[in-house]
Amino acid sequence: MSHHPFIFFFLLVLGLFRTADGAQVQYASVMQEYSSSVGNKQFGPLQVLGKPDAMPQGGKSPCAWMSRLANSGKEYLEVSFDSLQVVRQVAVFENLNPGGVVAVSLIDEQGKTNRIYKGPAAATSEKSRVFRVFNSDDTRQYKRVRVDFDFSKFGGQKQIDAIAISDSEEPIQAEIHELKDLAWASGPENLGRKVNSAFSDVNPVISPDGRTLYFTRKDHPDNINGSDENDDIWYSEIDENGNWGPATNMDEPLNNASNNFVESVTPDGNTLLLGNHYFRTSEEADGQELNGVSFAYRALDGWSFPRNIRIENYRNYDQYVNYFLSNDGRALLMGIEHDDTEGAADLYVSFLQADSSWSAPVNLGPVINSAGSEGTPFLAADGVSLYYTSDGFAGYGSSDMYMSKRLDNSWKNWSEPVNLGGRLNTAGWDAYFTLPASGEYAYFVSSENSLGATDVFRIRLPKQMKPEPVVLVSGRVLDAKSNAPLEATIRYERLPEGASAGLARSEPKDGQYRIVLPRGARFGFRAEAAGYFPVSAFINLDSLLDYQELSRDLSLVPMEVGQVVRLNNIFFDFGKATLQPESEPELRRVVEFMRANSGMRIEVDGHTDDVGADAANLQLSKERAASVIRFLIENGVEASRLLSEGYGETRPIAGNDSEEGRSLNRRVEFKILKL
């Protein structure tokens, strides 16, 4: 039999660790040689490297090695480990039809072989097992192991999941990587018959404010096509008492004769990410690709006809697909089978481009993806906590839910996925994890204890499973003069650099908006509408500890002579007129506004609170207004179009008896003198 020298270094940091009792355990990190293999990725020799993926649940898995011939008499694997150590135990993880191990040998640095086990192959009654060989009296150090197999003695395919060594005789176990000592308040809660049906209810998407649940109902008689094998979008809303209302079909244009499903809802609740492309007529659809993703927007009379979006180099060879839009609207996650997948479907990310198209999908890498199938991605409101489904890691059932943290902006560097545990994952199929911005409840789908084939459940999460805290900011966009609600775009940016952090839309009917901001930064956010100056607000989340909800109305000033515009995101050093770097994005918008309105003249006014001497406050207000004028001139605004004045503490807009009031009084405004 030919052999395959095949040196491959396992890149994940999973090779060496110490157990609770101090034993050093290593899993194979390099494949040195192997006899044969069914495939290169799935069922290939590299699947032996690292911790077990197919165990403890056992059974056939693409994440374990399988020889080319099921009943071959002579097969072997030769692996090495990260470092030399005394080897008291070798563990071979046989996940499918165990019993084929006939020899285990240790190989020292000089290439000398020490066979520590030899025995006959024999079928067992076990579905899978950890075959352990103990080596009690040997004090030499090794980092290479060879395992020989005879698969000819009994029928069926056989697989090997992992090979490990230990300096202890404490039995090496197949374990699920999960969080320990979780304080669960309760078990999973079925959302009941108002939400779930006797059919399959899947793909829940909870709005960031936790008030609306979108989901897919399969083959229901009230679907657009009746029960003729199609999926429709349904939704339910929660009332003030925490009770879910009767599920309602979303009807056309979101539902049609094809399979329809919501994948994300933006924090403002006004944009839905939908699976598949939409076409108004069969003629329009002729020759077009149905597989893809679309956006629908809330309008005065309901939802708009979905707009198809273009993803560069998009393809999917899998029969299923999942998407998720990040809360900032700039990253599109997807579970697809592409040309460079690790196995079957993998998780990818695509990024929004300047022309509103999306970049070619980028694989999230081998920490997230396995030789199995990954799908149903959900990126929490913090932008770093990823929850998803996989059948390629150690788990409880046929498909489990996992959590990982994004460690940098490369989208390639992730923490080791953690199984969400036996309260969420069952022996069956578990998927479609979704969270509101608060992270309080997780919504998911399970076939365990369901009313139909699959139901939507929720569970209150322990703290260790929650994403990082965020702030849900909501309010109304209003005309500052008439107080009428406005339809507007809300943009938010990180300060001081002014980098865009996302956008939202206010609701056309009542001007309501919602945005979600992660902790660890300072943000400016503003509403924009044609004919108005964009007025900004500021929030500092550097020290946010817990989830919060804040209410901030945004008043837009109409472009009219005599109107006064407050510059909220202007910051000075304490007691001085020196502009801080965080002020630059706001001031640059004033520059652009003046350039776009070449006939405009303005007066910049400075104001203070009543702390300190009157004369000093008056002088400070004049100097701060002058600092703003100086910035505008230095950035191209003609001095002839600018006036400045300081009013000190003489024109308060709030009481000076609280810090909040004094903060409002310390301000810079400009008045429109001419258009």
In a shared domain, residues 78 and 136 = yes
Look up the CATH number of the domain holding residue 607. Answer: 3.30.1330.60
Lowest mean pLDDT among 97-111, 154-168, 245-259, 421-435: 421-435
Is the separation of the CB atoms in 322 and 375 below 8 Å? Answer: yes
Look up the CATH number of the domain holding residue 280. Answer: 2.115.10
Is the separation of the CB atoms in 667 and 648 below 8 Å? Answer: no
Region of residue 30 (left: phi > 0; alpha: psi -120 to 50; beta: else): beta
Chain centroid to CA 309: 20
In a shared domain, residues 254 and 369 = yes
In a shared domain, residues 390 and 481 = no
In a shared domain, residues 594 and 653 = yes
In a shared domain, residues 550 and 585 = no
pLDDT range class, residue 13, cuts 50, 70, 90 = very low
Last residue in a domain, options 557, 587, 605: 557
pLDDT for residue 449: 84
For the chain, how many structural domains are there in total? 4
In a shared domain, residues 492 and 383 = no
Look up the CATH number of the domain holding residue 529. Answer: 2.60.40.1120
Q: Which of 210, 187, 183, 176 is nearest to 463 (CA)?
A: 183
**Does 181 map to a domain?**
no
pLDDT range class, residue 4, cuts 50, 70, 90 = low
Structure tokens of 6? Answer: 């095949």
pLDDT range class, residue 20, cuts 50, 70, 90 = low
Give CA–CA dist 305/182, Å, rounded. Answer: 45
SS3 503: strand
Q: Are strands 642-646 and 601-607 parallel, antiparallel or unpaired?
A: parallel
Q: Which of 402, 405, 464 is nearest to 177 (CA)?
A: 402
Q: Whose structure tokens read 């809802």?
A: 265
Last residue in a domain, options 498, 525, 557: 557
Give CA–CA dist 181/387, Å, rounded. Answer: 20
CA-to-CA dists, residue 670 to 55, 332, 574, 640, 644, angstroms: 67, 40, 21, 15, 9
Give CA–CA dist 369/375, Å, rounded. Answer: 10
In a shared domain, residues 502 and 458 = no
In a shared domain, residues 580 and 520 = no
Structural domain that includes position 550: 469-557
Q: Quick check: 8 pLDDT over 70?
A: no
**Does 550 map to a domain?**
yes
In a shared domain, residues 421 and 505 = no
Average pLDDT, the chain: 93
Last residue in a domain, options 447, 465, 483: 465
In a shared domain, residues 17 and 52 = yes
Is the separation of the CB atoms in 515 and 504 below 8 Å? Answer: yes
Q: Quick check: 497 pLDDT over 80?
A: yes
pLDDT of 308-330, one tens digit each? 999 999 999 999 999 999 999 99
Chain centroid to CA 25: 32
Q: Quick check: 472 pLDDT over 70?
A: yes
Give CA–CA dist 106/167, Å, rounded. Answer: 13
In a shared domain, residues 525 and 646 = no
pLDDT for residue 314: 95
In a shared domain, residues 482 and 349 = no
**Does 171 map to a domain?**
no
pLDDT for residue 10: 44
pLDDT for residue 373: 96
pLDDT of 30-52, one tens digit each? 999 999 999 889 999 999 999 99
pLDDT of 553-583, one tens digit each? 999 999 999 999 999 899 999 999 999 999 9
Strands (E), 291-392: 293-299, 302-303, 307-308, 322-325, 331-336, 346-351, 362-363, 374-379, 385-390
Q: Are strands 212-218 and 231-237 parallel, antiparallel or unpaired?
A: antiparallel
**Does 128 map to a domain?**
yes
